[in-house]
């Protein structure tokens, strides 16, 4: 099993782990999925991605193993504690029983798929209907009641505990997991799914800072979740085709305009560390955010070419971001995309900007088409015109306007200005705080908590408290020599309390 690959999805309060291994004797590929039943990402993965194993004959080369245990814990007295509450322990065990009683993978997977789909729709209480829906008997309930389920779970607990993830993480590209499977397969019965895959997707694209990538991906997976209504989570997550209608600017909202250029470190920092706060609380509900990439660019008089302060790459990225705003339309999506590019820019890796499509599961084509068609140039010309006609003219970048008023050097406090300018009735919580500063230290944790709590309101906050430690888990597990910014010490506020520390140890 030396070539076993673990695709690790780190989520502090949940575990989703995918192991793909070509077994020595058999040419079949074994795909083991370590998951817990009520972890939102697990459910999304099973319902929208893993199900692809059963399409186009991929299952003919795969031995799929489902291991419903995740980060649950076994108490000394033999009882289980599950991250998402007792309901999760029940469903873990029921799924374990179903796997054991219906060893045919098509049968037990259809049951699991049914339960996970309900979980995604927050209707997991109706799980019992899945027996009828998948035409299976209710024998697994007896297995649960008579204690057999518990023994099965103990086995899964042991197996999960023995996993040894590699020190470097494969970037989170479950979307492409079919590629991993096809690549691992050494037999001759190549299924259609492997023949029709594009060859140009890098399967082993490990990068030194993939840890940060993982963090970023979780952050954005969440961001993408957060603008879909719960009942449509599944549908919109698989149908991100960029063809969405523009969200109308809400009347009565505060207009927040940000004039910036893509490779200025101050601008990148503002976008990643401050502006992100708009999404970090309910501030976005009162803000119409407008991003205007151009900044201090000029247009050459001799050949009309763009000249940018940080070189031709900046001109290109200004244009790409202008295109993203124009074609993606939904502020959550294009902000996510721009955040990703600026994040890379801070890390000195802006040349990898195209990875942001994959990272966020966004379609590359509309944005690249916009760029190649010359539409990006037209958009930048508009931005150039608008920027050069600002009154008063901008003196620094980023140049931030709140309802057309320049806030100049105080741009980091834009939230306070926005709250003051807001005249509506529904005052967001962010404006009720004494000083609505954006705390960037907690950003990962609180954003994830916030958007998960939107969709999983029945979850108790304490289950997500570990999110505060999310970066820490990732950093702790990382053994590489390149230490990403995110792994440098956090300010005390973001550190965990002792109880959380004790729990750290139970997580890989």
Ligand X SMILES: *[C@@H]1O[C@H](CO)[C@@H](O)[C@H](O)[C@H]1NC(C)=O
The footprint of ligand X (CB under 6 A) covers: 26, 28, 60, 63, 249, 255, 288, 296, 298, 307-309, 369-370, 373, 375, 403-404
Q: How far is the CB of 375 from ligand X (least distance, A)?
A: 4
Closest to ligand X by CB, 120 vs 324, is: 324
Q: How far is the CB of 309 from ligand X (least distance, A)?
A: 4
Q: How far is the CB of 504 from ligand X (least distance, A)?
A: 39
Dist CA 120 CA 44 (whole Å): 7
Task: For residue 204, give both structure tokens.
Answer: 């082993």
Q: How far is the CB of 251 from ligand X (least distance, A)?
A: 7
Q: How far is the CB of 240 from ligand X (least distance, A)?
A: 17
SS3 sequence of 440-493: HHHHHHHHHHHHHHHHCCCCCHHHHHHHHHHHHHHHHHCCCCCCCHHHCCCCHH
Would you report the helix, strand and coil content of the chain in percent, each value rounded to 5? Answer: 55, 10, 35
Q: How far is the CB of 57 from ligand X (least distance, A)?
A: 10
Strand pairing of 80-81 and 298-299?
Answer: unpaired
Dist CA 98 CA 140 (whole Å): 5
CB atoms within 10 A of CB 439: 13
Name the phi and psi angles at 492, rounded to 5. Answer: -55, -35
Q: How far is the CB of 316 from ligand X (least distance, A)?
A: 14
Closest to ligand X by CB, 306 vs 444, is: 306
Closest to ligand X by CB, 309 vs 329, is: 309
Closest to ligand X by CB, 166 vs 393, is: 393
Looking only at Cα atoms, what is the longest distance across the chain?
84
Q: How far is the CB of 463 from ligand X (least distance, A)?
A: 36
* Concatenated DSSP letters of 161-226: HT----SSPPP--GGGHHHHHHHH--SS---HHHHSS-TTS-SS---TTHHHHHHHHHHHHHHHHH
Strand pairing of 399-402 and 306-307?
Answer: unpaired
Closest to ligand X by CB, 60 vs 229, is: 60
Closest to ligand X by CB, 106 vs 499, is: 106
Closest to ligand X by CB, 286 vs 465, is: 286
Is 18 in contact with 174 (CB distance < 8 Å)? yes
Closest to ligand X by CB, 172 vs 414, is: 414
Task: For residue 160, give both structure tokens.
Answer: 């999960």
Q: How far is the CB of 71 from ligand X (least distance, A)?
A: 29
Among 389, 383, 277, 396, smallest CA distance to 320 is for 383
Closest to ligand X by CB, 345 vs 465, is: 345
Cβ burial of 251 (10 Å; 0-12, 13-18, 19+) is exposed
- Give bridge partners of residue 64 from the DSSP assignment: 31
Dist CA 457 CA 9 (whole Å): 23
């Amino acid at each position: 099993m030396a070539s076993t690959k673990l695709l690790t999805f780190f989520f502090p309060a949940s575990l989703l782990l995918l192991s793909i291994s070509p077994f020595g004797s058999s040419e079949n590929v074994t795909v083991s999925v370590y998951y817990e039943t009520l972890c939102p990402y697990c459910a999304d993965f099973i319902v929208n991605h893993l199900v692809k194993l059963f399409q186009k004959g991929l299952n003919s080369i795969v031995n799929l193993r489902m291991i419903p245990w995740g980060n649950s814990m076994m108490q000394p007295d033999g009882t289980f504690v599950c991250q998402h509450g007792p309901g999760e322990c029940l469903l873990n065990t029921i799924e374990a029983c179903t796997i054991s009683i219906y060893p045919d993978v098509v049968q037990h997977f259809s049951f699991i798929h049914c339960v996970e789909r309900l979980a995604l729709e927050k209707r997991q209480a109706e799980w019992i209907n899945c027996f009828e829906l998948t035409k299976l008997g209710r024998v697994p309930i007896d297995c649960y009641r008579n204690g057999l389920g518990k023994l099965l779970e103990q086995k899964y607990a042991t197996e999960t505990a023995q996993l040894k993830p590699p020190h470097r993480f494969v970037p989170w590209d479950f979307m492409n997991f079919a590629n991993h499977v096809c690549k691992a397969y050494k037999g001759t019965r190549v299924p259609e799914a492997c023949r029709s895959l594009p060859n140009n997707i890098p399967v082993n694209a490990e990068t030194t800072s993939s840890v940060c990538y993982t963090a970023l991906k979780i952050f954005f997976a969440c961001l993408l979740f957060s603008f879909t209504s719960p009942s449509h989570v599944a549908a919109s997550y698989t149908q991100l085709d960029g063809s969405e209608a523009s969200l109308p600017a809400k009347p009565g909202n505060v207009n927040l305009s940000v004039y910036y250029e893509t490779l200025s470190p101050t601008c990148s920092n503002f976008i990643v560390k401050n502006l992100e706060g708009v999404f970090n609380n309910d501030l976005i509900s009162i803000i119409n955010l407008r991003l205007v990439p151009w900044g201090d660019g000029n247009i050459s008089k001799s050949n009309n070419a763009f000249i940018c302060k940080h070189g031709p790459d900046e001109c290109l990225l200004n244009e790409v971001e202008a295109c993203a705003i124009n074609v993606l339309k939904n502020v959550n999506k294009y902000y996510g995309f721009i955040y990703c590019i600026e994040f890379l820019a801070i890390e000195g890796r802006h040349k990898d900007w195209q990875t942001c499509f994959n990272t966020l599961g966004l379609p590359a084509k509309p944005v690249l088409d916009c760029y190649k068609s010359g539409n990006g140039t037209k958009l930048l010309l508009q931005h150039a015109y608008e920027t050069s006609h600002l009154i008063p003219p901008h003196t620094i970048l980023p140049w931030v306007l709140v309802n057309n008023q320049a806030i100049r050097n105080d741009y980091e406090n834009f939230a306070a200005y926005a709250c003051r300018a807001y005249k509506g009735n529904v005052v967001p919580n962010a404006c009720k705080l004494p000083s609505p500063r954006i705390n960037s230290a907690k950003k990962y944790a609180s954003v994830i908590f916030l958007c998960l709590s939107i969709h999983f309101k029945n979850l108790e906050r304490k289950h997500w408290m570990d999110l505060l430690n999310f970066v820490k888990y990732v950093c702790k597990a990382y053994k590489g020599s390149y230490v990403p910014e995110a792994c440098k010490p956090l300010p005390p506020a973001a550190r965990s309390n002792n109880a959380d520390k004790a729990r750290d140890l139970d997580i890989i």
